[in-house]
Chain A
Amino acid sequence: MVLARYLGRKVAWTLVVFFVALVLNFLLPRLIPGNPVDVIVGQMAAGGGAGGEQLQQVHEHFMKEFGLDKPLWQQFFVYVGHVLSGDFGTSFGQYPASVNKLIGQALPWSVAIQLPAILVGWIVGNLLGALAAFKGGWFDRVGFVGSLFFSSIPPFALAIILLFLVGVKMGILPVGGAYSFGLSPEWSLTFFGDAITYFWLPFWSIVLVFIGGQAVGMRSMAIYELGSDYVNYNRGLGVKDSKTVRYIFRNAMLPQFTGLALSIAAIISGGLITELVFSYPGLGTLLFSAIGQNDYPVIQAITLLITLAVLIANFTVDILTGFIDPRIRAAQSGER
């Protein structure tokens, strides 16, 4: 079972990376001089609002939750235990609220906007890039410069400009949030119809940037394939162009596919900032407010989720590549 071994190796690799990410997630915030709980409680006290007794209670709660009275390696096991059982602890910033609840409210919005954006952007971008490479001429020139421009605009810059032009100046679409005031999230047509108007702006700001990046990559891959030996050879044999183009497309496609895995981290982090610009109630906005409040448990949970999302995406792409690309299966079994 060649494929099974390939899958097994990918699973093992993903687990190793996840473990390293866990260690980083655990260790980095603990490198602050002093312990984070003292720092936070100190800030809460300085900010006023909470009384002495309540602060004492908060302090004890967190000391216990993080196991800060124990040695570091035991703390790590406490942390891993919590994470593996899906418990991200209690928020500093919005004290009694659990991090799980905060994340649970934000995550669906982020997924709803990023997943379709990535799929649409990837498909449209590749078609556009391939078309530009084959057609050449003015289509290529306009398409290439346009894609290059969109791909090199910082994602949030496009978001800001779109928000200003379409949302504020033209007033076509709402300027922020995810649904109108007075409605609450539910599975109904009215809510959906309302939420979709808030959806378009952040969605398109992510998609346009991504289309640009993919198109530029696909174009150069396709052009590169066009100049390769087998194309010349085919031409020498008198094979029809339409047939050669199919090979070219398939070969140019594969790197684009692996490219998707590599670019996913950038898209996700760009998407988070886009949410922020539109105050879309997803993880990006939550991260923003958590950073403002030094809310470590929430920040840690979000960074871990981002890592997890990227790892899962990479894993999926690896698996699909294993099915699509015969060379990978062959290389694994050494029958090249």
Chain B
Amino acid sequence: MSLKGLTPRFWVAAAIVVFTVLLGVIGPFIVHTDPNATVGGLYDRPKCCGILILGTDNEGQSVIANLVYGTRTSLIVGLLAGLFATVIGLLVGLVAGYRGGWLDDVLTAITNIGLAIPGIVVIILVSVSLPKRNIYTLAFVIGLVAWFWVARAVRAQASSVRTREHIDVARLSGAGFWSILMRDVLPYLLSYVVMAGVLQVSGAILFESTLSLLGLGPANATSLGTMLYWAIAWGSVRTGAWWAFFPPTLMLTLIVFGLLLLQSSLNEVFNPRLRRGRAARKKITEEAEEEELEEPIVGEPEPVGAAGMLETPVSSGREHR
């Protein structure tokens, strides 16, 4: 895959994501203010230049300081939870799909039950019960309910890869169970796993802010969600203090939008069929004459990798919302 193959959409998405990450990583060093320090009154208007550039919140704290630290917290929770969920889902899906048999039945049953019970319900129940909530327990809990999607999709593909000939070759040459999984099965799924990981991260960030809005956010840190929680609880929307609620809203939207855009542009890169679909669509609407219908070399036969995701109706990219 060369850089030329990347669409403008990819570059826009990458720019947004890089921007938010930089804000979260470098921001706190530039802003240099404790987000918990009181620097003004209730909802002071933004003043040019300095820590009051976005005014103050309901506790007289600097909004810009909270914003950069909050972005950092939200990104950390999202990354940890997304990584956690993807890894568990990948392992469960690989083992279930490749091993088959009773283990597959058990793991699939667990996955299906996990999918049927709304994640938010389990998260609320666990969070309410936790004696202490910090960003790590939060990330753990979110990861714990989010892996089912990945597991189901990975399982479907792993079990289709299992019947291929090169697996038999590997087995005959004496490769072990894990070695086959990692070296002969996993590479076929890698493009999908990367995309699923991106989706998981954005989903986890959304989950975190939803929980924070309900009042179940991390107790020891500012996140974008807890900023919104206070902004709504103290009626900043109604009193017109836009600087208290707009920056975190915008930030969250940017992060989530950027990640989803990244995922969908990666999808087009990894999945030639989506692009071919475009060409075919043009034909059916304009009835142009036959044009190159070049199959990508691996193309047609069995849907594996990113293409397979569109094949199975259940996971037709709708899986996230």
Contacts and interface: CB of A to CB of B under 8 A. Distances in A.
Given A176-B238, A299-B128, A17 B117 contact: yes
B319 interface: yes
Interface residues of B, number: 61
Contacts of B318: 213, 217, 255-256, 259, 262-263
Nearest to A137: B285
Given A227-B273, A254-B313, A296-B128, A154 B117 contact: no
Nearest to A150: B257
Contact of A291 (B216, B252, B317): B216
A101 interface: no
Contacts of A223: 274, 277-278, 281
A31 B129 CA distance: 7
A44 interface: no
Interface in A135-184: 135-136, 148-149, 151-154, 156-157, 160-161, 163-164, 168-169, 175-176
A149 B257 contact: yes
Interface string A251-288: 00011101100110111111001001100000000011
A224 interface: yes
Q: Chain B binding site: helix, strand, loop or mixed by DSSP?
A: helix
B244 to A, nearest CB: 11
B310 A258 contact: no
Interface stretch (A18-26, A66-74, A188-196): A18-26
B126 A28 contact: yes
A20 B117 contact: yes
Interface in A21-76: 21, 24-25, 28-33
Please classify the interface of chain A as helix (H, G, I), strand (E, B), loop, or mixed, using the class held by over half of its residues. Answer: helix
A306 B281 contact: no
Contact of B257 (A16, A135, A153, A231): A153
A178 B166 CA distance: 63
Interface string B244-281: 01100100110011001100100000000110111111
Contact of B213 (A235, A259, A276, A311): A276
A226 B280 contact: yes
Given A223-B281, A227-B280, A231-B280, A148 B261 contact: yes
Interface of A: 16-17, 20-21, 24-25, 28-33, 133-136, 148-149, 151-154, 156-157, 160-161, 163-164, 168-169, 175-176, 213, 216-217, 220-221, 223-224, 226-227, 231-232, 235, 241, 244-245, 254-256, 258-259, 262-263, 265-270, 273, 276-277, 287-288, 291-292, 294, 296, 299-300, 303, 306-307, 310-311, 314
29 contacts: A28-B125, A28-B129, A32-B129, A136-B285, A148-B257, A152-B202, A152-B260, A154-B252, A154-B256, A160-B228, A163-B237, A164-B242, A164-B245, A168-B240, A220-B316, A224-B277, A226-B284, A227-B273, A235-B283, A245-B284, A258-B314, A265-B120, A267-B321, A291-B214, A291-B215, A296-B128, A306-B118, A307-B121, A314-B116
Interface of B: 113, 115-122, 124-126, 128-129, 131, 202, 206, 209-210, 213-216, 228, 232, 237-238, 240, 242, 245-246, 249, 252-253, 256-257, 260-261, 264, 273-274, 276-285, 287, 310, 313-314, 316-321
Given A223-B277, A262-B314, A306-B118, 5 more contacts: A17-B117, A24-B125, A25-B121, A160-B232, A267-B321
Nearest 3 pairs of A and B residues by beta carbon: A227-B277, A259-B318, A265-B118
